[in-house]
Each structure stands twice: as structure tokens, then as C-alpha cells.
Structure 1
Amino acid sequence: MQESKVIEHIVAWLKNYAESARSKGFIIGISGGIDSAVTSLLCAKTGLDVVCLEMNIHQNKDEVNRALAHIENLKERYSNVKEYAINLTDTFESLKGVLPSTTKDHGLSMANTRSRLRMTTLYAVGQSFGLLVAGTGNKVEDFGVGFYTKYGDGGVDLSPIADLTKTEVYALAKAMDVIPAIQKAAPTDGLWKDERTDEGQLGATYPELEWAMAFEANPNSNEEYLDTREREILKIYRSFHNANKHKMVPIPVCTIPLEIK
């Protein structure tokens, strides 16, 4: 991959899109991970207004520290960047407190609620500043295994890095000098109180899932020659892809025949 040309292409695309939409710039949620770091850097390079939000909800201290360190680094490098640290923990607990017990005790439901609360915050702040919400999902997450929250981190105005694999995102991070702490950190969705990683939840590394995605897309792929681990990775990929396909397709609409309308 020609990193410098890819960076230049994405930055131009972002700037053209924002200008066409008559937007002043972009707002991004900063998690302390590689995807939001790369996305915010690309947005900053447009020269348009950029607002970075750090939105703590029972967040792991290391994640918060990485997010704040990245934002400080970004502000030092680009004068068009502003930040707001918004602690949503009490808001989350207040919402959780009025939900049915079966809901508040459902781990995955509450994890996804964190993501949706952050999305609501991004749109509230973004609209007040005339900004577009920039998504941080990569190709494998968005179109491979669907590893994101529907109407949470999947609720965005545009997706600058969604045509890049995780490996390619890391390559851009290195080319743009993302702080070492983020480049070295294990990927995590930041939706749990513990320190679980993406690999731990998915059962495969991103390079392995990238391989499976390419294998599925190749009409000449032949499972006959796969080893045991490759078969296992393919099974994991297919399981997530099929279970999360509803996130990747348009909302189903019940079309009413004209003769009965």
C-alpha cells in the first residue's frame, strides 16, 4: 500500500464531502484505539474544524489515558482541533436504573447501550457545531464480521477508513506518527469494565479475519487445502458474518402491493 497517497486521497475525499454538505468539519469519538486515532488525524489534515470527544463510561484507565494523550498530541500538531471530555458514567447509570432488571443485568445489551449513548452525544455536540460525525470502523469490522454496535458506533455520517483492513489502518498510523502507546495497544471495543480484547471476543486476530474475508471473496478459493486453524478461522468468520448481516444491509421494508393500498 502506498500510504502517503492513500492518506492524501482520504483527506481530499473528507474535505470535498464536508464542503459539499456545507459542514464546518468533523466530530470524532476518541477511544484510545488505533481506528479513532487514525480517523481523527485524517480529519485534522483537512484543515477544517475537528472536535474530539473523550466519553468515559466506566472506562479502563489505560484507555482513557491513551485517548487523552492522543488528543493532546493532535492539538499540538493541528490548530484546528478542539476537545471535550464528557463523562457519561452517571448518565449511563441513570438510564440503567430505570430499565427492567432483565435488561440492566444483560451484559451485551448494556455494553451496546454504552455505544449508543456515545453516538447520541456525538450527534448532539456535532450538530451544535455544524459538524459531521466521522465513523471509525475499518473494513473487517464493518463488512466482514460486523463487530460494531448497530446505531452505536455504526451510527455515523461518513466512514473514512471503512475500505481499509486493520493491517492497513496500522500502516497509516505508523506513517502519520500516531503515539506509540496506541500503536502498541491490543485492539478493544471499550464497552466492558474488564480488559477484554477484540481478539478475545472474536476468537481470531485481525490478520486471520482479513485472510478469511479475502478467502470468501475469491471465487477460486478451495477449502480442501486448508489446515485445521484455517478451517477454524473460516468458521469463526462465517459465524459472525451471518449473525451480523442485518447490520450490513438496508433496513427491510414491507412493500404493500398497489392493489391493496
Structure 2
Amino acid sequence: MPTNSSFKAEAINKHIVNWLRTYAENAKVKGFVVGISGGIDSALTSTLCAQTGFPTLCVEMPIHQAESHVSRGREHIKYLCGKFDNVSSVEADLTPVFEGFKKQVPETENPHLLALTLANTRARLRMTTLYYFAGIHSALVAGTGNKVEDFGVGFFTKYGDGGVDLSPIADLMKSEVRELAKYLGITNTILTAKPTDGLFGDDRSDEDQLGASYDELEWAMLELEKGKTHNDFSGREKEVFEIYKRLNIINQHKMNPIPVCEIPMNLK
């Protein structure tokens, strides 16, 4: 796990918490809603929201979830509720909702497309659930995406975990997320857990899906920003750089604003 000796955890912590608090005050809302997955990103985001003093609702939304994910999420919620009076939690078991949805739509003969589409469906059901709780509590949905996921490889579901009101950690690299989480005392089981989106009902990790670790993708993101090309590298570095570049290109539709067909004035 790389460390950055210049990373100012305390100052960054205060900056994000102040940003969250100011945004909530200006938006005239009563708090935050965060989906808890058992991963480090949601653990960090919920902790930062809790620090604002605003009511923070942690929502568990299992859909055939692995027991390890559930236990880590509950461990974090217990830790957070014990530390902050403004934190509460709720569980919405979406497994029957997901199964009911599958019965209402046709399948496809392409097993890869079916698995991917259903994985994204899980994320979108969770987004709908978070906005339900945000609506009845006059709260904002806080996103849990980091910089590599949101602006590097686009590793999120459009209108799923990408459907949020504000993104407090989206300018932090994954390594910086780990450092800030460690500084804030996030439990070790979460700090050391292998990153996974938990959308397929098995134990596949993010690295299994992406073909590279977050540390590798973070390196590639920084190298591309320097203007480097795949010709500047060889071996594993070249492979990782090409993986990053491919994902960055094919997922631009997630990262860019929705295109609008503008009608020329002479046609109106």
C-alpha cells in the first residue's frame, strides 16, 4: 500500500467536512444519506458526513450479498453510531425486489450481457432506495466514488452509484482514500478488504473486473495526465497503461455531460 508523506490528512479532513456542511446549509437540507457496502469508500464517506453534525443515515441494501460484505458494513455502522449521536441506520433488503424485477423482464441468450445488465440493475435499485430515504428525510445522497473510479476508468453504474447529489471524495485517489480512512480510524477489516462492487453475487474483486489494481490504475492516470503514451512503457506498465486508456475512452459517456441535440435557430 503506497503512502504519500505529503498527504495532509487532518487538513483535507477538515476541508471536506466544511464543504459538506456548507453545501447542506446552502441547500437547506436536514442531513445526508449514504449507502453502506462494507467497503472503504462508503465507510469514509459516511464518516465524513457524520463529522458535519448533520443527521447521517447509513443504509444497508443487500441483494444476495456476500456475508463478508454485510458483516463489514454492520461493523462500520456500529462503530459510527457509537462515535456520533447524529448517525442512524436502516436496512432495506432488496433481494425480493430484485427477484421480482427479474420475473418481469425477458432474459437474453448472451450470458455476459445478462450478468452485466443485472449487476447494473442492482446498483440502480439501490440508487432508487437511497433517494427514497433522502426524500422522506429531506436529505442529500452522498456519493462514494473516488477519483480513479469517477474520472479515470468510469467504474460505476450510470444512474446507479453514479446517481448522487454530491461527491465528497471524488477528488481523492484510492491511495488517498486509504490514508484518510486510516487517519479517521476506519476499522482494519475494511482498510484491508479487497475492493469489490458486490454487484455479481460472488467474490470477484474490482481488480478481477478491471484487469489492474487501483494502485496501477492510479499510476496510469497520472502518467496519462503527463502526456505519456503506451510507447513510453513496456511489460506490465504498458499493459496497465493500455487497460486504463481503453476504459477511460469507452466510459467517457459516464463522465461527460449528457449530450443535447441543439436545434438550429432557423429550424425553430
TM-score, length-scaled by structure 2: 0.95
Which among 211, 235, 253 is matched to residue 203 of structure 1?
211
> 1:173 matched to which residue of 2?
181
Structure 1 vs Structure 2 CA RMSD: 1.2
Which among 127, 132, 140 is matched to residue 124 of structure 1?
132
> 2:86 matched to which residue of 1?
80
Q: Partners of 1:236 and 1:226 in 2: how far apart?
A: 13
| 1:105-124 alpha-carbon deviations (Å, 9 max, x no partner) | 60000000000000000001
Gaps of 5+ in 2: 1-6
Matches within 5 A, 1:55-204: 55-102=61-108, 106-204=114-212
Give SS of 2:108's match: helix
State the one-letter code of the partner of 2:64: H
Quote how far apart the aligned CAs of 1:222 are: 5.8
Q: Partners of 1:103 and 1:86 in 2: how far apart?
A: 31
The reply to whether residue 39 of structure 1 matches residue 45 of structure 2 is: yes
Provide closer, same or farther for how the CA distance between residues 198 and 258 of structure 1 changes in structure 2, counting only shifts above 3 A.
same
Quote how far apart the aligned CAs of 1:227 are: 2.6
Quote how far apart the aligned CAs of 1:104 are: 10
Given that 1:97 and 1:104 are in contact with CA atoms closer than 8 Å, whether structure 2 keeps it comes out as: no
| 1:16-74 alpha-carbon deviations (Å, 9 max, x no partner) | 00000001110000000000000000000000010000000000000001001100100
Q: Partners of 1:224 and 1:110 in 2: how far apart?
A: 37
Which among 32, 39, 61 is matched to residue 26 of structure 1?
32
State the one-letter code of the partner of 2:71: N
Given that 1:103 and 1:110 are in contact with CA atoms closer than 8 Å, whether structure 2 keeps it comes out as: no
Give SS of 1:69's match: helix
Say how many residue pairs are matched: 260
Which among 208, 233, 246 is matched to residue 240 of structure 2?
233
State the one-letter code of the partner of 2:254: K
Q: Partners of 2:252 and 2:232 in 1: how far apart?
A: 27
Identical-pair percentage: 53
Given that 1:104 and 1:110 are in contact with CA atoms closer than 8 Å, whether structure 2 keeps it comes out as: no
